[in-house]
Amino acid sequence: MRKWLPFVVALLPLAAQTADEHANRAAEFVQSRDLKSAEAELRRAIEMRPSDPTLLTSLGGVLGMEGDLHGANGYLRRAVQLDGENPLLRRNLAANQWQLGQLHEAATNLDLLLKSNPRDGAAIFLRGMVADGLHDYTRCIELLESLPEVTTRKPEAAVALADSYYHTNEPEKARAILQPLAGSRLAYEASGVAIAAHDYETAVALLSSLRTPDAAARSRLALAQSRLEIERGNLPQALAMASAGLRDAPDSAELVMTKASLESTLHYYTDAVPSWKRALALRPHSEEARRGLATAEWEGGMKPAAIADFEEGLKEFPHDAALRADYGTLLLDRGLGDDTARGTELLRRAIALDDSLAEAHYRLGNALLEAGDLAGAQKELEAAGSLDSQSARVHFALSRLYRRMGRTGDADRERGEWQRLKAGEARVASTGPALGAVDR
């Protein structure tokens, strides 16, 4: 969590003018953390000297400390407009913009500062933080690593640097930086970075280090623990963790979606359906939630509801290829004979929206093969093969196709490839309970 950096307090003058007297009183109030009184004194001072950039930036600073970043921004910008050469004023504006998420504006101001003084430590720090926010991870690492002991002096930098390390595929460095944050005020924020990088073990360690975790921390810990168990293949335990987390944070969309997804994967469809409904209530425009709900309804034997939800999704997400591909696949694969035409049409539409969907090409190709349209099947199955050459079933379908086309040599080659890939699958055979169709 970012806090206003009180660079500006030191600027408050102690002169004996009336405006200055107000400013002096404001400084005293800041010292005693009475920000409301400080703000009132500075406003009176500005009424008297409205074009004093120092007073303006001071008020901006106090507003920032009060959490009114938007209010602060106007005063800070006006101060820079009045005295563009003052690096302190620009730095304050940049810091506020960074905290407001106006990253491009912040970057522009910080680059100006660094152009005039490449050794401006505060600007380097802020520019590094902004670079992380702008996903310019290499620049972030370059800047923050250039500041000696920055992660010790400014732990916020550790979080940004770790984020950049994760994104540049250096997770060990990220973990090394994050570990010292355990038990610190930044442990929660650091855990978010680890979760985003799917480093759930580090996230769990950070969150577990909190001495008095609040509900948000407890639910995030549950999320991290749940996802850690998913990674370990222990889905029932993952589900238990997600469910426990929801007791602390019933409105956590991430936890609800994790739970719903786990229930679907475990075939607990009658549990998954209300979970996906809850996810959809929390994220009404989530395509994933709509698709998850419709699919769980279908798999759970609630086909009319599933069709209604798929159709609703088609209207709400007219350009969503995955939704159409999933719906079309279910209609073809698990529907009745009447569903074939609709399933085929949906797959064609999915491919028109996104030609890179190997699954849609494969399903459509198989449907055309069954219908005897060998040319159409060839086009789709070969497209699927080029998009996903490691899919055993695509090679199996190509083998069937080529045999029907009289291309025996190609058919044998594809069957051989299918057998090779299938042998790899067999080595990880399921040992779970008997739930439904095998190999689904």
Complex with other proteins: residue 106 or 346, whichever CB lies closer: 346
Give the angle 383-384-388 at the CA atoms, nearest 5°: 120
Cα–Cα distance, 345 to 352 (Å, whole number): 11
| 304 forms part of the interface with other proteins (CB under 8 A) | no
| 429 forms part of the interface with other proteins (CB under 8 A) | yes
| 270 forms part of the interface with other proteins (CB under 8 A) | yes
Of the candidate spans 46-54, 105-113, 135-143, 429-437, the one that interacts with other proteins by CB under 8 A turns out to be 429-437
Complex with other proteins: residue 25 or 400, whichever CB lies closer: 400
Q: Are 252 and 285 in contact (CB under 8 A)?
A: no
12 φ/ψ sector (left φ>0, alpha ψ -120 to 50, else beta) = beta
Per CB under 8 A, contacts with other proteins among 360-399 are 366, 369-370, 392-393, 395-397
| 402 forms part of the interface with other proteins (CB under 8 A) | no
Q: How far is the CB of 435 from other proteins (least distance, A)?
A: 7
Complex with other proteins: residue 42 or 394, whichever CB lies closer: 394
Which element (helix H / strand E) includes 59?
Answer: helix 53-66
Task: Look at residues 308, 284, 366 and name the one whose alpha carbon lies nearest to residue 332.
Answer: 366
Single residue of 55, 110, 400, 401 touching other proteins by CB under 8 A: 400
Q: What is the DSSP letter of 211?
A: S
| 430 forms part of the interface with other proteins (CB under 8 A) | yes
Q: Are 200 and 242 in contact (CB under 8 A)?
A: no
Complex with other proteins: residue 107 or 347, whichever CB lies closer: 347
Complex with other proteins: residue 151 or 378, whichever CB lies closer: 378
Q: Mask 125-164, x = binds other proteins (CB under 8 A)?
A: ----------------------------------------
| 169 forms part of the interface with other proteins (CB under 8 A) | no
Half-sphere exposure (CA, 13 Å, Cβ side) for 218?
A: 13
| 436 forms part of the interface with other proteins (CB under 8 A) | yes
Q: How many residues bind other proteins (CB under 8 A)?
A: 41
Single residue of 403, 405, 407, 413 touching other proteins by CB under 8 A: 403
Single residue of 268, 310, 327, 402 touching other proteins by CB under 8 A: 268
Complex with other proteins: residue 137 or 418, whichever CB lies closer: 418
| 1 forms part of the interface with other proteins (CB under 8 A) | no
Q: How far is the CB of 415 from other proteins (least distance, A)?
A: 8
Neighbours of 103 (CB within 10 A): 18
Q: How far is the CB of 123 from other proteins (least distance, A)?
A: 58
Cα–Cα distance, 224 to 205 (Å, whole number): 10
Single residue of 3, 422, 423, 424 touching other proteins by CB under 8 A: 422
Complex with other proteins: residue 13 or 300, whichever CB lies closer: 300
Alpha helix locations (H) across 388-427?
A: 392-404, 408-426
Complex with other proteins: residue 32 or 270, whichever CB lies closer: 270
Which residue pairs from 14-23 have beta carbons closer than 8 angstroms and sit at least 24 positions apart in sequence? 18/48, 19/44, 19/45, 19/46, 19/48, 19/49, 19/52, 19/55, 20/45, 22/48, 23/55, 23/58
**Distance from the first to the final alpha carbon of the chain:** 43
| 250 forms part of the interface with other proteins (CB under 8 A) | no
Cα–Cα distance, 220 to 242 (Å, whole number): 10
Determine whether 414 is exposed, middle or buried from the number of CB atoms within 10 Å of its CB (0-12, 13-18, 19+): buried
Task: Look at residues 300, 304, 322 and name the one whose alpha carbon lies nearest to residue 313.
Answer: 322
Cα–Cα distance, 436 to 440 (Å, whole number): 8
| 407 forms part of the interface with other proteins (CB under 8 A) | no
Single residue of 233, 304, 337, 409 touching other proteins by CB under 8 A: 337
Single residue of 301, 318, 416, 424 touching other proteins by CB under 8 A: 301
| 438 forms part of the interface with other proteins (CB under 8 A) | yes
Alpha helix locations (H) across 232-319?
A: 235-248, 253-265, 269-282, 287-299, 303-316
Complex with other proteins: residue 107 or 369, whichever CB lies closer: 369
- Structure tokens given for 144: 């923050």
Complex with other proteins: residue 148 or 233, whichever CB lies closer: 233
Determine whether 55 is exposed, middle or buried from the number of CB atoms within 10 Å of its CB (0-12, 13-18, 19+): buried
Of the candidate spans 51-59, 172-180, 182-190, 295-303, the one that interacts with other proteins by CB under 8 A turns out to be 295-303
Contacting positions for other proteins (CB under 8 A): 236, 267-271, 299-303, 334-337, 366, 369-370, 392-393, 395-397, 400, 403-404, 415, 418, 422, 429-440
